[in-house]
Structure 1
């Protein structure tokens, strides 16, 4: 890797960070009907939002609109029973439940090279008793870039490529950053935390807060994370020589045995923000976090035909005992994920029908 690539200009670095933010945030804008387009004042619907999001990218029919490149994983969650002190959800009862997940990185192109991604992502579906499920989508950054749906929409507009150059306009991005100083914490975190060298040595965070209710009816606001047994290492120039090193490394590691993360639940204290994903909770909260058990992944397979292919990792699919907080991004994610899921599965069906008609 050249010195120029190791030390990009400040503008280039912010453009890359902005693209990462856009990849993470692109589908999170609120579609509940109270945001209007600046110019025509028409109500922003889920369909119009996804149309606008797609207009910023090249089409990749059948793939997720974000996190397009990923790998399916499966295994189990081994609960130690400790989580029951915070939530009555059956997932926290002592025992084992199956999980299907997806490891990925933000981005719109399923062929992108892995070294372009500054963030890793981990989505999981826990299959519980009585037909319940718990779905969660986590990122390797503990905070989000913006706190409101309005800011997310403004961010999408700032990230829209210039029609002539095909590139993000630095002036528009600069204006956005000046208007939203809360994004500074996200930028600083990325700048001081290089991407992990593989999927299995990264921690992943819920980012948003959720409401846990235990068997006694006591309510706690929490955030959670999954913390790996493997020690973190930053990505290296050797890793970057392979454009698909994340999936390749995971496959090699699983040949030697399962990979594990501890599910850590961090309760909030009075006054901690539950509706602002840009703000971290005080570090001392981690002194009271609860180790609820271990996520064990023992299999990986292609996303094309793997078990995760048709899962919409909607963060509002929650079991009894877990509920959403007042964070407005949660409803945004749920609504937009649904539109994206329906669109890509329809594209798959159309492609299959076209293939059958040619036979």
Structure 2
């Protein structure tokens, strides 16, 4: 079955003008930057007295409210399970056993990039797919991806500034357009990244979205050859018209119904960096003519609610890597790893509360 490759904007970013456009871009950026709060920690970017994993998680709780038992970000989600099967192309790039061709069990999570577990689906334009590959030899791989093509800031200092510029005004619930415009004028890389994000056509559903790893890693094959790479999960499901919201959980409800009707599939596509491509700056999309290699297929066969699902207590730590996949010079994965660990530490001591997404209720509605 044919499938499309991830969309890449080919035109350069235009000027950002007009309060409505500024607020819309700020809304996208604010969601992504809330997710990025987990990237800031004392891993060499900031002095220990200024920011730490604990203070980052404190900030997430302050921004989103107290929701014991839930993740401090990407709080609303659903567990998925299935398999990944390599197609034989992966070992030329990486010696990781997940690419060897055997069917590998996978558990994962689809979620909204928001820190409130009952947020209506229509309010979050950024979605995530997190996966845990469990090959028979125990050399597992975890990865988190998002349905946007680039990240909106280059480093944590810019992150802090953008977070301040897009902070909602308590009186209006929206960012101050003047503050946003001032930041974007001073940081053209962020303005360009937001235009790239805005230019990417939104998917109609979780099932038809492309999920991209926004950070660069290194693949190493059995001969010791290395390549800087990024990857994406590209849907086999064809795009449809996006439905009007039919309830606060309409995206999740649709996903549950779709999996009930048959398996969903994505193709793992690896993009290789070319000469001169930036690997430590996730605001920059690599040129669309870069070599892309499809290395296997993810099949999602079942979904579970998070209350008791297999993904509930998993951190999708991006540094849980098999032999054959290594960190590159991008600092974000190490930062995310530390913040995720702190979030899990807090959740471990809290009572688990019912998820807003109830698989059994949707299935009951189908049969009724």
TM-score by length of 2: 0.85
Cα gap change, 1:272/1:34 in structure 2, threshold over 3 Å: closer, same or farther?
closer
Distance 2:160 2:136 in 1: 38
Distance 2:226 2:216 in 1: 13
Q: Does residue 16 of the first structure (1) align with residue 27 of the second (2)? A: yes
Distance 1:191 1:181 in 2: 15
Deviation at 1:105, TM superposition (A): 1.4
Distance 2:192 2:208 in 1: 23
Cα gap change, 1:234/1:13 in structure 2, threshold over 3 Å: closer, same or farther?
farther
Cα gap change, 1:164/1:227 in structure 2, threshold over 3 Å: closer, same or farther?
closer
Cα gap change, 1:221/1:47 in structure 2, threshold over 3 Å: closer, same or farther?
same
Which of 251, 255, 267 aligns to 2:256? It is 251
**Map of 2:69 onto structure 1:** 62
Higher helix share: 1
Q: What pairs with 1:270-349 in structure 2 (closer than 5 Å)?
A: 270-285=275-290, 288-348=291-351
**Map of 1:147 onto structure 2:** 154
Q: Does residue 90 of the first structure (1) align with residue 97 of the second (2)? A: yes
Q: What pairs with 1:65-80 in structure 2 (closer than 5 Å)?
A: 65-80=72-87
Cα gap change, 1:182/1:167 in structure 2, threshold over 3 Å: closer, same or farther?
same
Which of 214, 230, 235 aligns to 1:223? It is 230
Cα gap change, 1:158/1:282 in structure 2, threshold over 3 Å: closer, same or farther?
same
Distance 1:292 1:261 in 2: 11
Unaligned runs of 5+ in 2: 1-17, 354-368
**Map of 1:106 onto structure 2:** 113
**Map of 1:357 onto structure 2:** none
SS at match of 2:267: strand
| Alignment length (residue pairs) | 337
Deviation at 1:160, TM superposition (A): 3.8
Deviation at 1:226, TM superposition (A): 0.8
Q: Does residue 133 of the first structure (1) align with residue 144 of the second (2)? A: no
| Contact persistence 1:106–1:120 (CA under 8 A) | yes
RMSD: 2.2
Distance 2:224 2:307 in 1: 43
**Map of 1:204 onto structure 2:** 211
Distance 1:166 1:59 in 2: 19
Unaligned runs of 5+ in 1: 1-6, 352-359
Distance 2:145 2:350 in 1: 26
| Contact persistence 2:205–2:255 (CA under 8 A) | yes
Superposed CA offset, 1:54-85 (max 9, x none): 22222111111111111100000011121000
SS at match of 2:133: strand
| Contact persistence 1:56–1:160 (CA under 8 A) | no
Deviation at 1:185, TM superposition (A): 2.9
Superposed CA offset, 1:70-124 (max 9, x none): 1100000011121000000101101110000100111111111111111221000
| Contact persistence 2:231–2:268 (CA under 8 A) | yes
Which of 120, 137, 148 aligns to 2:127? It is 120
Deviation at 1:32, TM superposition (A): 1.5
Superposed CA offset, 1:116-172 (max 9, x none): 111221000001233221000000112111111222222333344446666544443
| Contact persistence 1:78–1:293 (CA under 8 A) | yes
Deviation at 1:347, TM superposition (A): 2.2
